[in-house]
Amino acid sequence: MNLAAEIPGIHLDIRYHTANNFTGTPVPGYGAACAWMLAKPAKALVRVQKKLQKNGFGLVVFDAYRPHRATVAFVAWAQRSGNAHLVKQHYIGSRSYHNHGIAIDLGLVDLATGQYPDMGTEFDTLSPKSHTANAQGAALKHRMILKKAMESEGFRNYRKEWWHFSYWVKGTRPRDVPYGGFEAAEGVWTVPKGWDKPGWKAPASWPKAASNPRTSAKK
């Protein structure tokens, strides 16, 4: 389900479509700034949104369904950038419920101002500061508002990321369907040569013609 179409008033801030994410470049699979989920968690998210609206908040989605190529890209970035420890510490996963369409990264938005309330850290701050319970004052209050609302509708929070929630659905499988219709299709896209090695430079965008660069670009 397309969350923007199915959930009235939901905000999208799809960071992986842009360079405004921890890798510093657009991520493969995110040629369009969309957010999809399977029907069951998407319908639960509708109920979460309605509950939060009663208290003046709404949801802003940073990421939902994630093409598998993006998960592989995150690990490759960690390896080539000297951040492999983030994989070992489970801040970056080699497998993800996002690939199954049953996980979502989101935060709160103040409906009166359109601003994001204090959550203690930015989305995708890969450090202990992002652990859900590791906050104080307004930040902890807002994290708990989000956590309570999500868990009341069957979502489960990942304790190391205040923004990450999953919703169990039996029988799912990881997919690699890209958001951009012009991107290399599931089963066609392959890993670019050398992209996990220091010196490899990601392209500024991932159109179909450049989805599978065969040579590494060195600085």
Residue 214 pLDDT grade (very low, low, confident, very high; cuts 50, 70, 90): very low
Handedness of CA 11, 16, 22, 25 (dihedral sign): negative
Domains in the chain, ordered, with CATH? 3-208 (3.30.1380.10)
**pTM to 2 decimal places:** 0.92
Catalytic residue among 6, 122, 153, 161: 161
Catalytic-residue membership of 161: yes
The per-residue pLDDT for range 156-208, each reduced to its tens digit, is: 999 999 999 999 999 999 999 999 988 999 999 999 999 999 988 887 777 65
DSSP string over 171-215: T-------SSTTSPPTTT--PPTTTTSTT----S---GGGSS--S
CA distance 100 to 176: 9
CA distance 193 to 214: 5
148 in Cβ contact with 95 (< 8 Å): no
